[in-house]
Amino acid sequence: RQWQRNLWYILGRQWIEYQTRYGGWRDKRMASWIPRPVTNKCKETVQAIRAMFTSIKLSVNVRPNGSDPKNVSAAATADEMSPLLHEVHFMNQAMSEFDFWLCVCGNAVLHTYIDYDIKHGEIVITAETCVECGETSPSNEIADAGQKCPSCGGQEFTPAVDPTTGAPIETRKPKGIPCTIVLSPLETSWPQSYSRFDDLPYIIRSRWRTKRYYQAQPECAEMIPKITWQKSPAGHNLNLFTSLGQANDLGVGSNTYTEGSNRGGAHEDGITEHEVWMKPTGKYPQGLVFRVLGDSQPMVVRLENEGLPGPMPYTDAEGNPLFTFAHATYEHVGGRILGSGAIDPIITKQDALNRLDSQVELCLSRTANPVWLEPKGAEIQKLTGMPGLVIKWNPLTVGGNAKPERIAGVRIFDGVSLTDLVESLQNFPASV
């Protein structure tokens, strides 16, 4: 509820109220003649903070853990590769998105992993036959065994061919690339009974995948007939996240956008993916990673390339599983993992500024504008207020007292200067 409100305020949709009956935010029911101005100080505040974060250049300084030559060499290599890894993972773009979620929702998660999407290309793995035992093995397994046959340890091989066609035996697999992505709090979930992120036993990453994606992935093609496709995610958080792609900065749109129930994939079938990353336990000493499709009829995904389901795919130098998630909060709140955002304290002031602007516009349109006083019987056809307007009236009516006259508008404030009041409200982020 709080994240959804902040997102709509950033997008300029601020005349909203929460309705418990519908479980979401809706436009306030107001008369059509009431102005609804928006002076978006929330967005200006986020822009200022993000500009400050962008000016900070992140870097690392790798130091050897001891005087051993191997440690010194490893540290020097890592220190030199740091700028390259920064570019490979597109960290500038990632941190820009990270700053947005951190300021608006107060929470953001970084996830580092290897992406096996087919869009990155394929690698061809040839097979070789051992001369001694005749066993055929992929070349990557032979390389992992130290350029020896995994079965007998032989070191002489010949290219393996298909006995029926005579063509070389090859295996094509998607090329995996390392990447670091930013996950919003709408895409992640965990048990709220823990007060520290490091104590979490697992984390769930949710995402919406279209049918087109499964048709493009070779390993997913056989799952397509078994999936019950949907038009939108069933979960409220993910539904809100997918609807942001069709929102704009004008603060306009139907109520379905405001409620977060917009059909993010209304024109294309898709399915919700829930990927669970579980830390090591007694039953799973290397951790567990598995992916579930759908909400009403869940189905476990089995992918050989990604090793799903299976243990955590990444380990450190000592073989310990790595939990490749990092969580950050903008403002820590004691006793809970989730933090508060940068614009949470100024929402009430933003509402006050909008209400004041609305009242000012209403007063200007009703009392501050000058009007014409037209006595009865003056025989004036129409007063338009146009420059050079010629007004014809009958001076003989009512004893010559029927002359039209202009009445000036009434001042909105007689005591406090309205300009000073508006300027003081517009500068409230500096005082906060």
Q: Which residue has the higher pLDDT, 232 or 253?
A: 232
Give pLDDT tens digits for 283-318. 999 999 999 998 888 899 998 888 899 999 999 888
- Confidence bin at 385 (pLDDT 50/70/90): low
- 188-189: strand order across its sheet: 188-189, 202-210, 270-278, 288-293, 299-300
Q: Which residue has the higher pLDDT, 402 or 215?
A: 215
The residue assigned the tokens 């829930």 is 274
* Mean pLDDT in residue range 97-123: 93
How far, in Å, CA of 31 to CA of 380, rounded? 33
Least confident of 38-47, 165-174, 287-296, 380-389: 380-389
Please check whether residue 397 is in contact with residue 410, taking contact to mean a CB–CB distance below 8 angstroms. Answer: no
Angle (nearest 5°) at CA 32 between 31 and 37: 100
pTM to 2 decimal places: 0.80
Please tell me the predicted confidence (pLDDT) of residue 350: 94
Q: Looking at the predicted structure, is the pLDDT value of residue 182 above 70?
A: yes
- Confidence bin at 264 (pLDDT 50/70/90): very low
Least confident of 203-207, 277-281, 378-382: 378-382
Please tell me the predicted confidence (pLDDT) of residue 415: 52
* Mean pLDDT in residue range 95-111: 96
- Confidence bin at 258 (pLDDT 50/70/90): very low
Report the candidate in 43, 30, 41, 44 with the shortest Cα–Cα distance to residue 358.
Answer: 30
Q: Looking at the predicted structure, is the pLDDT value of residue 380 above 70?
A: no
* Mean pLDDT in residue range 311-340: 93
How far, in Å, CA of 353 to CA of 15, rounded? 12
Least confident of 68-72, 139-143, 306-310, 333-337: 139-143
Q: Which residue has the higher pLDDT, 316 or 429?
A: 316
Per-chain mean pLDDT for the chain: 85
